[in-house]
Structure 1
Amino acid sequence: MQALDRVIRDAYPQTRYIPEHLIAGEFLRPRVPRGPRPCKWPVITLVRDPIARNVSSFFQDLTTRHTHLDYAALLAEDDVEGNARRLIDTFLIRHDHQRPLKWFDMELKRVFDIDIFAEPFDKEKGFTIYGNDRCRVLLIKLEALDRCAAPAFQQFLNTNAFKLPNENVSAQKDYGRLYDAVRKSIHFPDDFIDRMYTSRLVQHLYTDDEIAGFRRRWRLPV
């Protein structure tokens, strides 16, 4: 959170933009109790194929973490394939590819003392609920969200009235064409793919078949 805060502050003179989730985080930070009798917080979080997550995150961060790029020009130019190649080069060199692999230790464990790796995750069901005296955590695999959201929220919130809205869709944003072009043309060498998919995060949360599918999706064409 502190690292993100620095990035947003550094970029603000140029972007004049503060993400809503950062504002919410700053509001909640002093309210997360650390005393001997804390409130039990409900926390809902997702996990996603880390490479797919990084590509999506890269586009969301274009105006804050990659201010050296002329974002308006990228959107205005008709050379979608050329701009996609420029973005791929920037992504490969500048993006923090390890961030999703460390997130649960850096954020969830540090703040709430919940270690998702200390307990089994139901890979087939697609979600698991964790808890201690400080919080309850619902962890859902994004890839399984459509089929498991209803039972997950019924169990976590004890409600049958849950409906899953379709929000924050990258293809529908102003960079949708560029995002689609990058997703279709970006691939990675085997050693990079091995590092991502032999990670503790992926091995703990995904089935062998799911991991094999991720590998096929991102492997360099033969």
Structure 2
Amino acid sequence: MLRRIRVYKALYKKYHDPNSVFIYQMGKVGSTALEQSIDNAIHIHNFYSRTHPCSLRLKGLAGFGWRYYCKRLEQELELLIKRLAFRARAHTKIITLVRPAQERNVSMFFHDLDCYLYALYSNCDRTSTPPLATRTQDPAVLIKAFETHYDHSYPLTWFDYEFKKMTGIDIYAENFDKERGVMYRKNNKYDVMCIDIKQLRDCEKPLSTFLNQTVVLDGANQADHKWYGVLYRQFKKEYVPATQLVKLLSNSKYTAHFFK
């Protein structure tokens, strides 16, 4: 118990540290390279379990039986501590990034590929799709897992369900400069810089000015260099999304605000 209390105190201190800079975004939008280039950076995707980038992994990490409920309580407590520390800060600088929804979804899917394949064969997330027989191992299972078990609307709602809820800032309230790929928003407690990942390399100087420190970006976290790199490249080349999915993403306010 004492060890756990020390862990929670350290977690609160980390998130309350006035020197911390928050890279607060939805995941798979180039944030790892940015984190490694910024002093005192904290990289976070969610302060609420509802907006965890992979709910299957969150629940899977909790284990089984009575341990599941204990671990889930612990996970929620950690999120609560992060929220309390974050909100207790006098002033916070935040960098958030955006990426076209379909690109981001494919990248996130492969990042958590093990979870979605397990869901495909077990239907552990209780979708309307029955579990696939384990003898079915043809390459099309990747497409089936992506289409039936992945939450494609996640990037479309993240700024409303997560970012606005936590900071009070409506990222859609002002126009995004699509040519420069950057916008700034602020309120009494938070200064926000929002960047299009495709123009991140051109933002080293604006980032340095915003943070009052020199920022030099590297090329970390490229999916092509990961174990699933070959599959990832093949999937991006061959996958053709259904018309309904294309409409969902292209007609969203997220896509219209940042990319159209």
Comparing 48-57 with 59-68, greater Cα deviation is found at: 59-68
Encode CA deviations 1:137-167: one digit per residue, 9 max, x unaligned: 11100121122x21330331134x2111111
| TM-score, normalising length: structure 1 | 0.73
Summarize the Cα distance change of 1:26–1:69 in structure 2 as closer, same or farther, 3 Å threshold. farther
In 1, are the aligned partners of 2:167 and 2:190 still within 8 Å (CA)?
yes
Bigger helix share: 1
Count of aligned residue pairs for this structure pair: 184
SS at match of 1:162: coil
**Counterpart AA for 1:54:** N
Aligned equivalent of 1:178: 231
Structure 1 residues 102 and 9: alpha-carbon distance in aligned structure 2, compared to 1, 3 A threshold: closer
Aligned residue among 83, 91, 102 for 1:29? 83
Match for residue 193 of structure 1? 246
Structure 1 gap ranges (5+) = 15-21, 71-80, 208-222
Pairwise CA distance, 1:82:
4.1
Any conservation in 2 of the 1:42–1:135 contact (CA below 8 Å)?
yes
What corresponds to 1:105 in structure 2?
160
Q: 1:153 aligns with which of 207, 229, 241?
A: 207
Indicate how the Cα distance of structure 1 residues 138 and 66 shifts in structure 2: closer, same or farther if over 3 A, else same: farther
Partner Cα distance (2:119, 2:181) in 1: 39
Deviations 1:36-94 (A, max 9, x none): xx511111111000001000011112234543468xxxxxxxxxx943x2111110111
C-alpha change, 1:26 and 1:106, in structure 2 (3 Å) is same
Kept in 2, the 8 Å contact 1:112–1:135? The answer is: yes
How far apart are residue 107 of structure 1 and its match?
Answer: 1.1
Do the aligned partners of 2:183 and 2:195 also contact (CA within 8 Å) in 1? yes
| Cα separation, 2, equivalents of 1:142 and 1:6 | 24
Contact 1:45 / 1:140 at 8 angstroms: preserved in 2?
Answer: yes
- Work out the percentage of aligned pairs sharing the same amino acid: 30
Q: Cα offset for 1:194?
A: 2.4
Q: Structure 1 residues 191 and 10, CA, compared in 2 at 3 Å: closer, same or farther?
A: closer
Confirm or deny that 1:41 pairs with 2:96: no
Letter in 2 for 1:109: K
- SS of 2:237's partner is helix
- Kept in 2: contact 1:127–1:152 (CA 8 A): no
Classify 1:82/1:51 alpha carbon distance in 2 versus 1 (closer, same or farther; 3 Å): same
Distance 1:112 1:2 in 2: 16
RMSD (Å), alpha carbons:
2.7
User: Per the alignment, do residues 46 and 170 of structure 1 end up closer, same or farther by CA in structure 2, a change over 3 Å counting?
Assistant: same
